[in-house]
Structure 1
């Protein structure tokens, strides 16, 4: 089995900056790094056997279907009905990533913690 690359520190730092939520803790995962609120995973970044980097997160089931329909850089994982992922590369929209990770946190966090987080609203 090919080795999975370590996630570059600058990529972990960038995600860490987006995941500053109440009780959201960073920890080493079986591969890569994950962020959890209490026992629930909010995001997990890891290197693939193809030497590319991905992050998985939680989304509403309808959004998971939309991401799956969009295709690359989004992908459906093989676990969990509300887990989706995105390939991280030079085209990554970091503003969108901030929104996706905020939504993921709010899905996973207890309501009292989620209520303390400012969520982007619709434009207009």
Structure 2
């Protein structure tokens, strides 16, 4: 039943995710009235809230996990979340998403990017 499998997969994910070679590097979703519950619990809010889940590593991951608005959902050692609100620095947000992409992408795709030194 290919249609049934597609429906189940859609039900397990909310929001929008971005992938490279089938590997998710960013996921944005809304929390409203404590739903979806796993994300609401991880972010520590019943909403309404917009959140971004992405990947980070090393010293940057350690630094982010202690900053206001960021949270470690506990779904893996490199996964970090961010509550998206008016205080988010958009330049930093772009850098975090780019770093998350580089964390998941193969080297030949990373080499195509025009990354700062």
TM-score with structure 1 length normalisation? 0.69
Relative to structure 1, is the Cα distance of residues 73 and 41 closer, same or farther in structure 2, using a 3 angstrom cutoff? same
Shift of 1:98: 0.6
Report deviation, 1:67. 1.0
Counterpart residue number, 2:28: 45
Displacement over 6 Å in runs of 4+: none
Distance change in 2, residues 1:29/1:91 (3 Å):
farther
TM-aligned CA deviation for residue 120 of structure 1: 2.7
Q: Which has the larger radius of gyration?
A: 2
- Structure 2 gaps, min length 5: 1-9, 35-46
Gaps of 5+ in 1: 1-26
Pick the aligned partner of 1:67 from 64, 68, 83.
64
Change (3 A) 1:29 1:95: farther
Pick from 110, 114, 117: which aligns with 1:118? 114
**Distance between the aligned counterparts of 2:106 and 2:15, measured in 1?**
25
Question: May I ask how many residue pairs the two structures share in their alignment?
Answer: 94
After TM superposition, the score normalised by the length of structure 2 is 0.73
Counterpart CA distance in 1 for 2:98 and 2:82 is 15
Q: 2:55 aligns with which of 39, 58, 77?
A: 58
Q: Please, what is the CA RMSD of the aligned residues? A: 1.9
Cα 1:110–1:28, aligned 2, differ >3 Å: closer, same or farther?
farther
- CA-CA distance at 1:61 after TM superposition: 3.3
